Amino acid sequence: MKVNVLIVGVGGQGVLTTSGLLARAGMYEGLNVVSAETHGMAQRGGSVEVHLRFGDVRAPLIPYGHADFIASLEPVEVLRYGQYMNENTVVLMNTRPISPPSVSTGDARYPSMDEILERVEGVTENIHLINASEIAERLGNIQAANVVMAGALIGLGLPLSIESVEMAIADVMPEKIRDLNVKALREGFAAGQRLRK
């Protein structure tokens, strides 16, 4: 087995936390897990990417065109990493945008959702939209949107069990936010299963 997962977003969205939970869950299941992360100006809303590879792999970076799953916690970030997609890549995109400073100052334009979808669908039709931020807000904390995304990835077919991720949450998150994150994970999983049908 070999599964390549690329998780992308901007600083502050919990990209690293998401990958850490999934990596730990994979290890609980006895899988070989390797990863690499890149974060530029992450604390200023810069792009963050994590390559997460499970199974029969040695190198941490996913080759171009070989991502099995891409989870984009911010819509436009999926475009930044299009070179990792192929026609079978499953793309999961959180639909809530975060405008970069260049858009706020009027120096750039944020693309419409239709433009983003058109470009992704030019490579893969396996794109799934979820408002993970809204789900997390409804549960009580928007910061759990990344965990909603982790659950949705599993619901879409990432071969990890929810129970393993719950164990990871119990091991790494402070007690006061564990229950919320388990709820976020389960809601994300249910949403991913619905999207998969």
Task: Give the strand order in the sheet containing 2-10.
Answer: 33-39, 47-55, 2-10, 69-72, 90-94, 127-130
pLDDT of residue 54: 98
- Inside any domain, residue 14: yes
Cβ contacts of 35 within 8 Å, gap of 6 or more: 19, 23, 50, 51, 52, 53, 60
* Predicted local distance difference test score (pLDDT) of residue 51: 96
119 inside domain = yes
Give the per-residue pLDDT at 100: 80
Closest CA to 158 of 92, 77, 83: 92
Q: What is the pLDDT of residues 21-36, one digit of tens each?
A: 999 999 999 999 999 9
Q: Domain for residue 16, yes or no?
A: yes
Q: Is residue 184 part of a domain?
A: no
Query: What confidence score (pLDDT) does residue 176 get?
Result: 95
pLDDT of residue 45: 65
Residue 21 and residue 167: Cα distance in Å, rounded?
Answer: 9
Place of tokens 């991913």: 192
What's the domain count of the chain? 1
Q: Is 183 a member of any domain?
A: no
Residues of the chain with pLDDT under 70: 40-45
Residue that the structure tokens 């299009």 belong to: 82
pLDDT of 44: 61
Specify if 177 maps to a domain: no
Q: How far out from the chain centre does Cα 118 lie?
A: 20
How many alpha carbons fall within 13 Å on the CB side of residue 137?
5
Query: Structural domain of residue 11, as residue ranges?
Result: 2-132+163-172
Does a structural domain hold residue 54? yes
**103 phi, psi to nearest 5 deg:** -75, -40
Residue 140 falls inside a structural domain = no
CATH of the domain at 7: 3.40.920.10
Number of H helices, E strands in the chain: 8, 6
